[in-house]
Amino acid sequence: MSVQTLLLDFSLDPARLGDENGQKTVFNQLETVLKDYIPNLILAAEIKVDGGSLKLLTGKKGSTVAVRLFDRGLVTVNIEYYKEDSEEPLINFKSARVLENQLKKYMTVIKSQAYPPLKRCLFGRYYPTSDERLLEYDIDGVLFDEQSPFQRVQIVHSKTLGNMLVLDDLQNISEADLVYTETLMKRGKENYEGKEIVILGGGDGALLYELLKEKPKFVWMLEIDETVMNACNKHLRSICGDVLEQRKGHNYEIIVEDCMLTVNKFIKEGKKVDYIFGDLTDIPISESACGELWEFMITILQASFKILKQNGKFMTHGNGATSPESLELYEQELTKLKPPVKFSKSRAFVPSFLEDWIFYQISFKTTDNGDA
């Protein structure tokens, strides 16, 4: 069940909408055509607003139509109705396109656009890209939905992506996203055999699962949210295997707490590791590198390099390739780190993100004589 929302936009000669009489004439033309598509349609309210007018209509089964007439020559039509899964749609995209063409002919429209229906319900089918464009997914069910002390944790099922982890209404990883983990690891180009590794975050278990295949000496995974691990252990076994079953194995340990507690403990002990993976928050989308999330990321970076061996690497995901300004801000912050660091980047199309994603490999910058 869902509320279906269909949107149609039209542009007309502004002179036709320049006064109240012109807007009334255009609306009457539009209403005549709409009544052929939505039964029992009646005008419920007329509101004069700055820059034009708003007409509200109601029809069959409580359907509503909002017609906004702008005196600059734009008309928008928003149609909403409730639909059970078993019901035929009152008006679908195909009929909306027919309606659009009818209105174009009848109203002498300059340009028009009909959009596929938005299916609004109590679980998400729409998730944003990194630069906040809306994507519709073929989600057909929710397998897990629980509010942890830190975030809303969901596992949804996609017809093409399989099961997918969603945190606070943002897609995180799906069964189709091995490329994400392998690009983060730079599999085939980095040698993890016999190495000591720290994962900051990584609650879905995918990175830990793939790293353990590389025969490391030991991996510490520092994850704060046990709800995420429980959900993934049950519903995302294809990407995490059985590594989330136990909190400790012969060559790994999952520590459930704020990752900075263990990092600070390692700093105090003088512990050094070969690799650190930042699998926490994405690079924030902002105009400047300030605010709580930026401060958190910079704190993580500074602390991580205190427990990284001189030839070690900090590996992390950045953000979508369509957000170059935020990636540039992150790189500017990297140039400010002391001791100085250098970085390289990788790029991969991640299926569940439906876009290219940027990954960073950061290490100490060495001088000509090999000193940091």
Nearest one of 366, 362, 359, 357 to 343, comparing CA atoms = 362
SS (H, E, C) the chain: CEEEEEEEEEECCHHHHCCHHHHHHHHHHHHHHHCCCCCCCEEEEEEEECCEEEEEEECHHHCEEEEEEECCCEEEEEEEEEECCCCCCCCCHHHHHHHHHHHHHHHCCCEEEECCCEEECCCCCEEECCCCCEEECCEEEEEEEEECCCCEEEEEEECCCEEEEEECCEEEEECCCHHHHHHHHCECCECCCCCEEEEEECCCCHHHHHHHCCCCCEEEEEECCHHHHHHHHHHCHHHHCCCCCCCEECCEEEEECCHHHHHHHHHHHCCCEEEEEEECCCCCCCCCCCCHHHHHHHHHHHHHCCCEEEEEEEEEEEEECCCHHHHHHHHHHHHCCCCCEEEEEEEEEECCCCEEEEEEEEEECCCCCCCC
Nearest one of 83, 70, 78 to 1, comparing CA atoms = 83
Q: Would you call 279 a catalytic residue per the annotation?
A: yes
- Residue count of the chain, please give it: 372
Of the listed 71, 279, 282, 371, which one is catalytic? 279
Report, as residue numbers or ranges, the catalytic residues.
279
